[in-house]
Structure 1
Amino acid sequence: MFNRGFGDSRRKVLLLLLLGGILILSFVGFRKHDEIGDIIQNQRQSWKNTTSYTYQGSSDTASDDEALENSPSSFNSEYKKDKKLAGKTSSKSSKQSHKQSEPEEEEEEEEEEQEPVAPGPVFDNRKLSSESLIDLRNDTLGFEHIYVLNMAGRTDKLDAMRLSASLSNFSFDIMEGVSGAEVPKKAVSGIYDYEKEGINGVIGCWRGHMNFARTIIRKKHASALIMEDDADWDVDFRNQLERFALGSQTLLNTPHGEADPAPDSPYGDGWDLLWLGHCGTQPLNGSWQRFLIKNDPTTTPLSHRVNFANIPDMSLYPNNTRIVMPSKGATCTYSYALSYHGAQKIMKWMSMDVYAKPVDFGLHDMCSEKERGFKCFSIFPQIIADHKPPGGANKDSDIGEGGKASNVRKKGFSYNVVNSVRINADALIDGRLEDVESQWPGEDDGGVEGEITYEYKDEEVEDVGD
């Protein structure tokens, strides 16, 4: 009896110990599972933070599409944030997104190590970064997109533009022109005199340029360049743009130290409009900033400069000098560029508000009225101008009637362009660069010797324009 009872008790004890061990192992296993789950969740969150954009005003990370939908509608740093809104994929934007994911403590330490920025642009040893040069040499000339304004029926002008662009190795899309007669009166924000001769051309031109601004907003372009379909430029066009970019970066006080990041736009950040092609421009009132491009062999000789509005007083500078300057506007819209923020401003003030002027007058007003905060920069002499092709003079304009059909030009010409791409098309097609000819051979205002040099000036002078 005693032995059997003792054996039963021992079995019960062993069974209890076994059950207790199982419970302890189960508890440890569940704790381990929770720890592994936490690690996986943290890894997922870390990966998510480094592959998504974080926008100010939101503590949540989101996918690219969600970020675009929730992105802010107004910007302090205009071009830089405009480019984020555009959702542009590039190695540069990739680097920016990684910078955003770094700890705030590290960013604060970097800011403390930076030297204070001197007031005003610093020009000594300034040069374009390799990233800016790469952007300038792409097939859209450093802008996100290029458009050419062309009336649907003018296949002759479109043919010439396609050929010219191919010879300078850039591409564009068509921005279809608008006939003023097709614009309903209710769609015009101002009151035009519809009895006035040529008013339909004025209204159609305005609407075409508003469509350009609207396209930039709709497609979220960080920037875009527009050209009219009779535009012409120099064989040295790309080098001219690099020199202009150096000037605009200087005027915008773009940091240029070896440790400084390249600007988002190769033309600098913070501009609204860049006026490259016009028929007259003036410096901004109260600003004496000038970036001088001296000894430029592509500068139009003094006796061949043709403009139809006021221009800067170029007697202040050596011959063969171009200047880049803050601008109070220009006349004619042969070519200009808009940033995303600039397009927004145009859409507001020239379409939604009461407006009844030619489009270049409106752009001029926006540049000149400082309270609008519209930053414009011009180059003079201009680097894009209009071309008059061989044939009847009545072909020239799509706004008015143009010249008389009986006035037939045997040879085309371009205003203010030394080595015209259109005129030298035959040589360029065949690759005969040695045969490229100036429109005014031997007329270089005393000769161009040595290399192109640059100078920055910011001193008050009496420059009221001609």
Structure 2
Amino acid sequence: MRIPLASRVLAVARLPMLSRGHHFFILTVAVLIVVSLVAFSFDRSAGFSASDVLLRVTTAVSSTSRVSGVNAATNETLGFAKIILLSLKTRTDRRDTIALMCSVTGIKVTTIIDAVETKDIAPKAYPSGAGLKKLLTDRFHPYVGSWRSHMDVLRYIVDNHIETALVLEDDIDWDVHLPEQMIAFARGIRASSGTMRPRFSQDELARAPYGLDWDIIHFAPSRVDSAPASLNGYDAYSKYTDEYRQSDGIIGAGCQGGWFCWLSLMDKVGLQETERMILPSYNTIGLAAIAVSYTGAQRLLYYLSYSELPDTVDRSISALLQQGYVHGWSMVPPLMAEWKVHDIADSDLLPGDTETYGGANNSNGHSPGIGNSVHRSFRTLFRPEMYWDTRNADLEEVQAGQNELVQAAQRVTEDDAEDTAIVEAPEVKVDEKDVTISMPATAAQTDAGADTDTTSTR
């Protein structure tokens, strides 16, 4: 008696015997796993191309938040409950750009919160504390609007009981491989479980790719300083592999006057070309892309609005991190960065009038330290098709096709003429006794109904 393959496998594995239906199910799952691993290995080994990104559009648009565990990092909200865009209503240009970026990488902004300007805030609603004195100066007065805008985001998270949210400012840029980079980060933070942070609970493992033991995560800082050894007891950090990380050359080229400078910290811990590091946030500055948990939003709303504001909102958060009032993570090199076009339009906080705009555009922009920038990918994805050139080429092809049809028609006409001549020629019939020649009846004979025998015998 022949034993089915599934039964033999289960016997070797010393698993209980199952029904034929269960055997088929197990084999099907095994085949799917093998195929997925092969496809994943092929994708990881392939380079970036326009077709790769366009393929992502057709597949990632249908992704849902039902994916659980670490794999949720690749869904349309990157494993967060919401993705929130903070943007002035007047910056429709940036909202257009974010829509394109999300469509290319299969990401979905779930909520847009309108940023506010200082002139729209009642002085009675200004924050209190030492930070207010700084914010009332001419240089920093526009930052009151920035503070209020971020408080509105925090209040939205608290009001709606959002467990985790990724908050993006509208000048952000990221890599075309961001979903893959996010799942690498999720694996990295999980690998640090039990050393740099407490072990993941079963609930976190099941549905929270980055865990829930944090208030804020900085994905696009402009500066990161690790905590001193006197606080950590050691230099706390964790390395993880990210095969889509940009090269050291690109990272180093982004350094500008002490900002976006990561190589010294990378050299200190000996990062390889395909590695990033995660460390507890200490003196971390930059709000272009942050993740905030529900409890983090509560704490930040309390310290930055209800209590006294010590500085501008970004530096106030840095102060809270250094004091240990809030806790979070930073990564080096960062996953995202601000897109700069080297024009007054780069900032919504600096004064300017219409005459100062238009000196640069997106074709001259860059994002410090980002390798396969989504912004720069547009130049390949949406390269002009040169309609008129292709149209002329198409017309030439059509004309050539028409010429072929005419020639074919002429050949058919000539063939028909030859066939007609053959039909009207005398038909020779060979009999056993004699030879007869049959001539076609003339038209006159046909019309007159003549019954004349046109056959002659020789």
Instruction: State the TM-score bracket (shorter-chain normalisation).
Output: 0.5 to 0.7
User: Shift of the alpha carbon at 1:426?
Assistant: 4.3
356-365 vs 287-296, which moves further: 287-296
> Which runs of 5 or more residues in structure 2 are unaligned?
1-64, 384-458
Distance in 1 (alpha carbons) for counterparts of 2:135 and 2:311: 13
Task: Say whether residues 1:140 and 2:77 are aligned partners.
Answer: yes
Instruction: Write the distance in 2 (CA, Å) between the matches of 1:216 and 1:363.
Output: 17
C-alpha distance in structure 1 between counterparts of 2:289 and 2:344, whole Å: 22
Report the Cα distance in structure 2 between the residues aligned to 1:214 and 1:318, rounded to whole angstroms: 38
Query: What are the within-5 Å matches in structure 2 for residues 383-422 of structure 1?
Result: 383-389=335-341, 393-401=343-351, 404-405=356-357, 407-409=359-361, 410-422=363-375
Give 2:240's match in structure 1, choosing from 261, 282, 293.
293
CA distance in 1 between counterparts of 2:149 and 2:191 reads: 32
Match of 2:205 in 1: 262
Matched to 2:84, the amino acid is: Y
Kept in 2: contact 1:180–1:201 (CA 8 A): yes
Q: Which residue of 2 aligns with 1:306?
A: 255
TM-score relative to the length of structure 2 = 0.60
| Structure 1 pair 272–194 and aligned structure 2 pair: CA distance change class (3 A) | closer
Is the Cα contact below 8 Å between 1:251 and 1:325 reproduced in 2?
Answer: no
- Output aligned runs, 1:222-301, within 5 Å: 222-253=163-194, 255=199, 262-285=205-228, 286-287=231-232, 288-294=235-241, 296-301=243-248
Q: Deviations over 1:168-207 (max 9, x none)?
A: 1111121111101221222122233565223232111111
Counterpart-to-counterpart distance in 2, 1:195 and 1:245: 41
Paired residues for 1:55-454 under 5 Å:
131-172=68-109, 173-190=111-128, 191-193=132-134, 196-253=137-194, 255=199, 262-285=205-228, 286-287=231-232, 288-294=235-241, 296-302=243-249, 303-306=252-255, 308-309=258-259, 313-316=265-268, 317-320=270-273, 321-370=275-324, 372=325, 374-389=326-341, 393-401=343-351, 404-405=356-357, 407-409=359-361, 410-428=363-381
Q: Distance in 1 between matches of 2:358 and 2:105?
A: 33
**Equivalent position SS for 1:337:** strand
Q: In 2, distance between residues paired with 1:330 and 1:220?
A: 26
Amino acid at match of 2:285: T
> Could you tell me how far apart the structure 2 residues matched to 1:183 and 1:270 are?
34
Q: Secondary structure at the match of 1:422?
A: helix
Aligned to 2:60: none
Q: Tell me if structure 2 keeps the 8 A contact 1:232–1:386.
A: yes
Question: Residue 301 of structure 1: CA displacement?
Answer: 2.4
1:322-376 per-residue CA deviation (whole Å, 9 max, x = no partner) reads 2111111412211000100000000111100111521110111111112x2x221
Bigger Rg, structure 1 or 2: 2
The C-alpha deviation readout for 1:396-415, integer Å capped at 9, x for no partner, is: 11011379537435522221
**1:260–1:189 Cα change, 3 Å:** closer
Partners of 1:158 and 1:244 lie apart in 2 by 27
Relative to 1, partners in 2 of residues 1:194 and 1:272: Cα closer, same or farther, differing over 3 Å?
A: closer
Contact 2:164 2:294 in 1 (8 A): yes
Q: Deviations over 1:293-335 (max 9, x none)?
A: 3574523524313254475622121442321111114122110
How far, CA to CA, are the matches of 2:199 and 2:382 in structure 1?
A: 40
The share of aligned pairs that are identical, in percent, is: 24
Quote the Cα distance in structure 2 between the aligned partners of 1:241 and 1:180: 35
Partner in structure 2 of residue 113 of structure 1: none
Change in CA separation of 1:261 and 1:422 when aligned onto 2, cut-off 3 Å: closer
Question: Structure 1 stretch 335-344 or stretch 234-243: which is displaced more?
Answer: 234-243
Mapped partners of 2:203, 2:108: distance in 1:
31
Contact 2:188 2:238 in 1 (8 A): yes
Partner of 1:49: none
Secondary structure of the residue aligned to 2:225 is: strand
Deviations 1:264-290 (A, max 9, x none): 421012111111111111223333222
Please give the alpha-carbon distance, in whole angstroms, between the structure 2 residues aligned to 1:295 and 1:154. Answer: 34
CA contact 2:157–2:297 (8 Å) conserved in 1: yes
- Could you state the TM-score of these two structures normalised by the residue count of structure 1? 0.59
Instruction: Supply the distance in 1 between the matched residues of 2:112 and 2:139 (Cα, whole angstroms).
Output: 24
Which ranges of structure 1 fall in alignment gaps of 5 or more residues?
Answer: 1-89, 92-129, 431-466
